[in-house]
Amino acid sequence: MSLINETHDLALKSWVTSANTGTSDFPIQNLPFATFRRRGSNEAFRGGVAIGDQIVDLKALAASGLFRELAGEALEAASDTTLNRFMGLGQAHWSALRLALSRALRENANEQANIEPLLIAQAEAEYDLPCHIGDYTDFYTSIYHATAVGKLFRPDNPLLPNYKWVPIGYHGRSSSIGVSGQTFPRPKGQTKAPDAEAPSFGPCKRLDYELEMGIYLGKGNDLGDSIALDDTDNHVFGFCLFNDWSARDLQAWEYQPLGPFLAKNFASTVSPWVVTNEALAPYRTTWTRDANDPQPLDYLESNKNREIGSYDIIMDVAIETETMRKNGLSASVVSQSSFKHSYWTVAQMVAHHTVNGCNFKPGDMIGSGTQSGPEHEEAGSLLELSRGGKEAITLNNGEKRTFLEDGDKVIMRGWCEKAGFARIGFGHVESTILPAK
């Protein structure tokens, strides 16, 4: 099954020359969306599309009247202060605008003279959340992460029996999700040492990041209806990088019996650019389930999901300490993994989320859960890398970490590479920890 079309052609080049370097996250084959304005201005935020190191101002482009029919309708919606209305239009509109932009930004396009004055340098922009995130659900799709963390919290029973049957998730707090550049104070709460008679209150001592993908829903479903496994591509708009911050000592004390609460709701950070599901078509790959494991129930099983259910998105995470910033040193990359290692696919997450009649709305977001690979160095959290805080990792400048310290900045990146197709990327997401209030 192929979802490839002319917008993915490796031979395409743009008249925006910075898109043609071969190393840019934003070649013409990508065309991700964000909401932006000129940094420091009082302008309204509006939709934009990345091309090389520039942004196409979609509000200005809509005013030009260049695009018509479905592409024109989509463009008008994408010029709002959020992308929700555009997301809600559905796949036909998303694809029409992507194709129109691709053709207008190609070398020798007749539209160059009209669009070139509408470009704004990314270096001069600031970003908001791409959409209003009404609801957010965090899943737990890496079996490697689930097993490693389970061994730390439940040595005698690390992987609960439902994990291999059900895509596990919990409803998170959307109000504390911020865009890249977010800062937040170290959270406070209750913790309890294993040998203590009673819990104590104070700042978190085991603050951690989680390397995740965020998945934005576009066209929703009515309350009481479900989204079939093979229909999820009509509802998944796009993907971002997602850092779901975690207070591990608060989590260890509070998580039973109802799961995460204060350990997770104080901050989460997304990258500004949303890479569309269509742009990721070349990097979709086969999904398999170990023959010795339970096979999915019928509503979570299909040939399409087996054939192209996984996404090979490479992800890495780096830590920049205050000392590194003062000395002008680069951040230290501490791990790298891939989204293809997920035990459950995006389609399975969406189908399961709605099988009981739960309704999605445009802009709702799903977190993938921490994306750890099969090797220890592919762990997507410090909890795993430090083996529960028992083994410090050494950064490039010799500093050591078991968990994060005040002033640490965490930077995550993501990209896709495949022979015969262009390299595309997600940019990055970064956030800095402030001292507890």
Question: pLDDT tens-digit profile of 121-167?
Answer: 999 999 999 999 999 999 999 999 999 988 887 887 788 889 999 99
The confidence score (pLDDT) of residue 155 equals 82
User: How would you list the strands of the sheet with 54-57, edge to edge?
Assistant: 119-121, 54-57, 46-51, 33-38, 125-128
Q: Is the pLDDT of residue 214 over 80?
A: yes
* DSSP-based three-state secondary structure for 406: coil
The secondary element (H helix, E strand) that includes residue 146 is helix 143-153
pLDDT confidence bin for 348, thresholds 50/70/90? very high
106-122 pLDDT, tens digit per residue, is: 999 999 999 999 999 99
The set of catalytic residues is 145
Beta-carbon contacts of 32 under 8 Å, excluding residues fewer than 6 positions away, are 26, 49, 50, 238, 273, 274, 275, 276, 279, 426, 427
Q: Is the pLDDT of residue 351 over 80?
A: yes
Lowest mean pLDDT segment, chosen from 33-42, 240-249, 256-265: 256-265
Q: Is the pLDDT of residue 1 over 80?
A: no
The confidence score (pLDDT) of residue 255 equals 87
Q: Is the pLDDT of residue 62 over 90?
A: yes
Percent of the chain with pLDDT over 70: 100
The confidence score (pLDDT) of residue 157 equals 78
- The model's pTM is 0.96
For the chain, what is the mean pLDDT?
A: 96
Backbone dihedral region for residue 14 (phi beyond 0: left; psi -120 to 50: alpha; all else: beta)? beta
Delineate the domains of the chain, giving CATH numbers in brackets. 6-127 (2.30.30.230), 136-434 (3.90.850.10)
**CA–CA gap between residue 79 and residue 91 (Å, rounded):** 17
